[in-house]
């Protein structure tokens, strides 16, 4: 009723005498109209604010009431799901009209900017609700309290955002064609903290609590924190940073004063400032650097700034200016700083918080599997049906191939939502990292792109040998021994270029230092082999020659002089196999490569190290296509036959060994043919065909080569084999005598492996004979262990220790026979 007189009084005002000053009349009219508008809109704004606050309050009250109900009667997680669902419904109902207002063409830019802050908040809340609605059975009442606390926090943030939108909406109605900020008092000239860009909290993050928890504790301290997350591209630095940014305790501590932005694509200080200004919603009205710093320094309370992909601007020609700006951020009294950096080094002039420089490591196998299964929804079973077992095996192989790197695992898991993991594994092995992309323009859409960012960095470009080293080391699954780089690349080390190149790769996190080996993780290795083939590298032949020589270094294996080569060959075995297999596909002379393969296979079966099945198969395919290389076929077949016997493939071994023997005889290589005959005896022995094995060994003994005094080693082999056969046939006295003779002859020939194996066999005989066997068995086992240790067969030491412990405990069972027959 009070409004009517005021409205009526405005009518005569416009009909007064024309003698009145028109300018004063116009001003009075405008002033009266403005007062009326302000009063009317003020009433509207007050009602709107009250209504929105009421709804926001209802959201928080409803969530608290719902969760209190859950806590009160201890119902399962279904109640949490219902409460979250209702929270979401009410939030959407009360925010839709505000967000719709932002879409109107009559709405000014300031309101639209603030509305975007509300959109981001709604998205963040929806992400939280999605996670809670997917919970299974609640683990504890603490979990209920945490959910209630988070919803209360969201309620307060909604209220704050709605308040600011109400003010802006009122001003938008008053001045629809003007910039609202031009009419607002100076305290709110800058952006509201609720508008800051904070990105979305990742829904899934596994295996990173050991990093996230201490970072959160550091941030909650009174003094500002300076934290760096380092590591290769795709290792999960951004995910960790966002998890920290959205951690409930961090949200409580910093409130809306949290901001996130990425430098990816920025190459200058100005680019960095533009990204910062966009995240802070700062309009450029003068010096951008000043505006960004003023915005951060004017925050009420502590602030948290997360800068992602810092290396994009730091590792450029403009890096000095960038570092200066980062130092300015790091020295603000009210600001905590988190930087993520692709690489292994940090800007040197920033004083980091104690123990706050984190090198992010690959996920452990179980965490990698969990990440894959959570995203893909596929989960096999090691004890399920054949299909479930196949899925289980494929998932394990896939995550192993990814080396525990989250980004490629995430991409593969996404593909696995619509593709069988077994098919996906086959596709990856065929096409490599080409499939590691989602087909969208996101920063995470391509693992290859992430790798290229590091390869194209200024640091790499300034070190011409770094890319050369990377493409060659990428061929080595175990990495390159830093102590052997000079020998590996002799022409690259005239000015220590190889060592410098390795240092650059470690600095950029394109490789890791694994106990002195510069190692490139599997996905990057695959990428390099597809994009930068090693055979096109100028130092490729040096690498190939190095590993071919290493493969043939097992000449003295089985003797004391061969102890060091055994250790080195065992460590480098995967590298040797990789280089030799790759060499078979190149234009290099193949005979030296085939000879190296034959020597490596001999070492592998003798020392029980590695599996050269695929390598030998590749070599046989190579010689089948070349008449010139056909002379290597019998030696390869002999190596294959011995391996097949060791793997229990007796029928296949018989075929391989018989063909090898026939080919050697055609070439008049009688000693090699004899080796095939003794290998056939081994195959019969392994099948417990004692008579057949005995016949072949006796035939070998009668051969003229074994009757000469020169071939003591061959004679010792036959005595050794006959002793083992007779022990199996129960002729213990004869077996003991033959084994002792063989041991003496091996000792004369300084073949220590033979002495160790004879001692092992002699230790088994007293246990099945008469009398107290303990003392004699202990003596022989100790001797076997001593000789195995002298020749570097570390894998046999634990076996010997286990047998010694069994004898000491009074176990009368027969000692486990040594698996090596030859």
For the purposes of burial, counting CB atoms within 10 Å of the CB of 485, is it exposed (0-12), middle (13-18) or buried (19 or more)?
A: buried
pLDDT in tens, 744-795: 999 999 999 999 999 999 988 865 545 566 788 888 999 999 999 999 998 8
Q: What average pLDDT does this structure show over 712-725? A: 91
Taken in order 15, 16, 20, 24, the sign of the CA dihedral is negative
Write the CA distances from 191 to 113, 261, 280, 291, 336, integer angstroms: 9, 16, 7, 11, 19
DSSP 8-state code for residue 235: S
- Tell me how far apart the alpha carbons of residues 746 and 751 are, in angstroms, rounded to a whole number: 5
Predicted local distance difference test score (pLDDT) of residue 135: 62
Integer-rounded Cα radius of gyration of the chain: 38
The CB-side HSE value for 601 (13 A sphere, CA atoms) comes to: 28
Pair of tokens at residue 352: 């980091």
Q: Which of 316, 262, 266 is nearest to 443 (CA)?
A: 262
pLDDT band at 64 (very low <50, low <70, confident <90, very high): very low
Q: Please determine, for residue 797, whether its predicted confidence score (pLDDT) is greater than 50.
A: yes
Q: CA 385 to CA 382: how far, in whole Å?
A: 8
Q: Which CATH number fits domain 209-359: 3.30.930.10, 3.40.50.300, 3.10.150.10, 3.40.1030.10?
A: 3.40.50.300
pLDDT at 407: 86
Scanning the structure block, which residue is given the tokens 């984190």?
Answer: 358
Give the span between the Cα atoms of 306 and 312, in whole angstroms: 15
Find out whether 366 and 238 touch, Cβ atoms under 8 Å: no
- The two tokens of residue 642 are 């011995």
Bigger pLDDT: 495 vs 383: 383
Cα separation, 297 vs 200, whole angstroms: 24
8-38 pLDDT tens trace: 333 333 333 334 344 434 444 444 444 434 4
Q: How far is CA 80 from CA 131, 144, 147, in A?
A: 11, 8, 9
| Residue 176 or residue 295, greater confidence | 295
Q: Name 746's Cβ contacts closer than 8 Å, sequence gap at least 6.
A: 713, 716, 720, 752, 753, 754, 755, 758
This prediction's pTM: 0.64
The SS3 of residue 480 is: strand
User: Of 669, 686, 671, 755, which Cα lies nearest the Cα of 716?
Assistant: 755
> pLDDT digits over 279-327, tens only?
888 865 678 888 899 899 888 899 999 999 888 777 665 556 788 889 9
* pLDDT the model gives residue 15: 34
Residue 532: which of 463, 469, 471 has the closest Cα? 471
Residue 548 contacts residue 580 (beta carbons within 8 Å): yes
CB atoms within 10 A of CB 682: 23
Predicted confidence (pLDDT) per residue in 560-608, tens digit: 988 889 989 999 999 999 999 999 998 878 899 999 999 999 999 988 8
- Nearest partner of 191 among 113, 252, 115, 262, judged by Cα: 113
Rounded distance between C-alpha atoms, residue 273 and residue 268, angstroms: 9
3-state SS, residue 584: coil
| Beta strand extents in 666-725 (DSSP E only) | none
Q: d(Cα 443, Cα 447) in Å, to the nearest integer?
A: 9
What's residue 138's pLDDT? 54
User: What average pLDDT does the chain have?
Assistant: 80
Six-digit token string for 150: 């988070």
pLDDT score at 209: 95
Q: How many CA atoms lie within 13 A of 592 on its CB side?
A: 13
- For 27, half-sphere exposure in the C-beta direction (CA atoms, 13 angstrom radius) is 4
Domain ranges of the chain: 41-190, 209-359, 365-435, 447-538
| Predicted confidence (pLDDT) at residue 378 exceeds the cutoff of 70 | yes
CB 681 within 8 A of CB 696: yes
- SS3 category, 333: coil
Residue 205 has pLDDT above 70, yes or no: yes
Instruction: Give the length of the chain.
Output: 822
**Signed CA dihedral, 103, 107, 113, 117: sign only:** negative
Place of tokens 């071939």: 711
Instruction: Inform me whether the pLDDT recorded for 101 exceeds 80.
Output: no
Q: How many CA atoms lie within 13 A of 130 on its CB side?
A: 11
| Helix residue ranges, H only, 489-560 | 497-507, 522-531, 540-551
Q: Which long-range contacts (CB under 8 A, 24 or more apart) does 275-278 make?
A: 276/307, 278/197
- CA 529 from chain center: how many Å? 19
Rounded to an integer, what distance in angstroms lies between the CA atom of residue 364 and that of residue 474? 22
Contact between residue 316 and residue 322 where contact means Cβ atoms under 8 Å apart: yes
Specify the CATH number for 41-190; select among 2.60.120, 3.40.50, 1.20.120, 3.40.30: 1.20.120
The half-sphere exposure of 732 on its side-chain side, counting CA atoms within 13 A, is 9
- How far is residue 370's CA from residue 219's CA, in Å, rounded to a whole number? 28
Indicate the pLDDT class of residue 433, thresholds 50, 70 and 90.
Answer: low
pLDDT tens-digit readout, 450-491: 788 788 877 888 887 899 999 999 999 999 999 999 889 988
Model confidence band, residue 168 (pLDDT cutoffs 50, 70, 90): low
């Amino acid at each position: 009723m009070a409004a009517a007189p005021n409205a009526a009084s405005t009518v005569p005002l416009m009909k007064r005498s024309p003698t009145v000053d028109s300018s004063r009349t116009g001003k009075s009219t405008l002033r009266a109209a403005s007062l009326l508008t302000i009063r009317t809109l003020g009433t509207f704004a007050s009602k709107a604010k009250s209504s929105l606050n009421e709804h926001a309050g209802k959201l928080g009250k409803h969530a608290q009431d719902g969760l209190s109900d859950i806590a009160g009667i201890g119902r399962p997680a279904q109640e949490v799901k219902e409460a979250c669902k209702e929270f979401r419904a009410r939030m959407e109902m009360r925010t839709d009209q505000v967000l719709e207002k932002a879409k109107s063409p009559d709405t000014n830019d300031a309101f639209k900017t603030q509305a975007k802050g509300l959109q981001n908040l709604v998205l963040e809340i929806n992400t939280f609700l999605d996670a809670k609605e997917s919970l299974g059975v609640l683990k504890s009442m603490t979990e209920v309290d945490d959910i209630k606390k988070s919803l209360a926090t969201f309620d307060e943030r909604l209220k704050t955002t709605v308040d600011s939108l109400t003010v802006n909406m009122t001003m938008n109605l008053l001045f629809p064609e003007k910039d609202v900020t031009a009419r607002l008092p100076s305290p709110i000239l800058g952006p509201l903290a609720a508008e800051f860009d904070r990105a979305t909290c990742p829904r899934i993050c596994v295996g990173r609590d050991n990093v996230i928890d201490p970072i959160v504790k550091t941030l909650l301290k009174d003094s500002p924190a300076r934290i760096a997350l380092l590591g290769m591209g795709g290792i999960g630095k951004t995910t960790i940073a966002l998890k920290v940014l959205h951690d409930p305790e961090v949200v409580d501590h910093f409130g809306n004063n949290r901001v996130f932005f990425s430098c990816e694509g920025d190459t200058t200080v100005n680019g960095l400032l533009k990204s910062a200004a966009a995240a802070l919603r700062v309009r450029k009205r003068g010096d951008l650097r000043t505006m960004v710093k003023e915005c951060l320094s004017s925050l009420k309370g502590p602030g948290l700034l997360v800068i992602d992909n810092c290396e994009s601007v730091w590792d450029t020609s403009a890096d000095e200016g960038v570092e200066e700006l980062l130092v300015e951020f790091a020295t603000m009294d009210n600001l905590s700083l988190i930087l993520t950096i692709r690489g292994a080094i940090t800007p040197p002039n920033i004083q980091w918080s104690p123990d706050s420089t984190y090198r992010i490591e690959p996920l452990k196998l179980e965490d990698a599997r969990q990440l894959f299964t959570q995203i893909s929804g596929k989960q096999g079973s090691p004890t399920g049906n054949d299909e479930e077992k196949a899925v289980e095996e494929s998932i394990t192989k896939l995550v192993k191939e990814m080396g525990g790197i989250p980004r490629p695992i995430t991409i593969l898991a996404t593909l696995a939502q619509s593709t069988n993991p077994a098919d996906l594994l086959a596709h990856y092995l065929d096409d490599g990292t080409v499939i590691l992309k989602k087909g969208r323009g996101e920063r995470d859409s391509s693992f290859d792109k992430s790798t290229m960012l590091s390869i194209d960095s200024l640091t790499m470009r300034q070190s011409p040998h770094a890319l050369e080293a990377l493409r060659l080391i990428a061929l080595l699954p175990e990495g390159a021994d830093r102590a052997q780089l000079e020998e590996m690349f002799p022409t690259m080390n005239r000015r220590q270029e190889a060592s410098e190149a390795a240092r650059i790769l470690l600095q950029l996190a394109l490789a890791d230092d694994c106990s002195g080996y510069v190692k490139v993780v599997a996905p990057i290795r695959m990428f390099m082999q597809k994009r930068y083939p090693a055979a096109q590298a100028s130092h490729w032949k040096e690498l190939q020659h190095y590993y071919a020589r290493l493969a043939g270094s097992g000449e003295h294996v089985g003797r004391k002089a061969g102890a060091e080569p055994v250790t080195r060959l065992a460590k480098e075995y995967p590298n040797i196999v990789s280089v030799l297999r790759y060499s078979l596909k190149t234009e290099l002379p193949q005979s030296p490569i085939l000879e190296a393969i034959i020597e490596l296979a001999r070492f592998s079966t003798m020392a029980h190290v590695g599996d050269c099945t695929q390598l030998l198969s590749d070599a046989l395919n190579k010689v089948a296509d070349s008449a010139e290389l056909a002379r290597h076929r019998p030696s390869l077949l002999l190596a294959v036959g011995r391996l097949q016997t060791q793997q229990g493939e007796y029928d296949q071994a018989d075929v391989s060994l018989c063909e090898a023997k026939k080919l050697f005889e055609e070439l008049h290589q009688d000693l090699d043919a004899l080796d095939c005959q003794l290998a056939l005896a081994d195959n019969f022995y392994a099948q417990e065909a004692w008579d057949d094995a005995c016949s072949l060994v006796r035939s070998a003994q009668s051969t003229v080569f074994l009757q000469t005094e020169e071939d003591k080693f061959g004679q010792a082999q036959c005595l050794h084999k006959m002793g083992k056969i007779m022990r199996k046939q129960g002729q213990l006295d004869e077996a003991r005598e033959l084994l002792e003779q063989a041991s003496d002859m091996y000792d004369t020939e300084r073949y220590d492996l033979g002495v160790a194996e004879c001692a092992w066999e002699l230790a088994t005989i007293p246990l099945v004979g008469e009398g107290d066997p303990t003392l004699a068995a202990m003596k022989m086992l100790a001797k076997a262990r001593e000789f195995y240790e002298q020749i570097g067969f570390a894998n046999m030491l634990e076996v010997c220790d286990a047998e010694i412990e069994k004898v000491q405990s009074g176990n009368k069972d027969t000692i486990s026979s040594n698996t090596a027959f030859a």
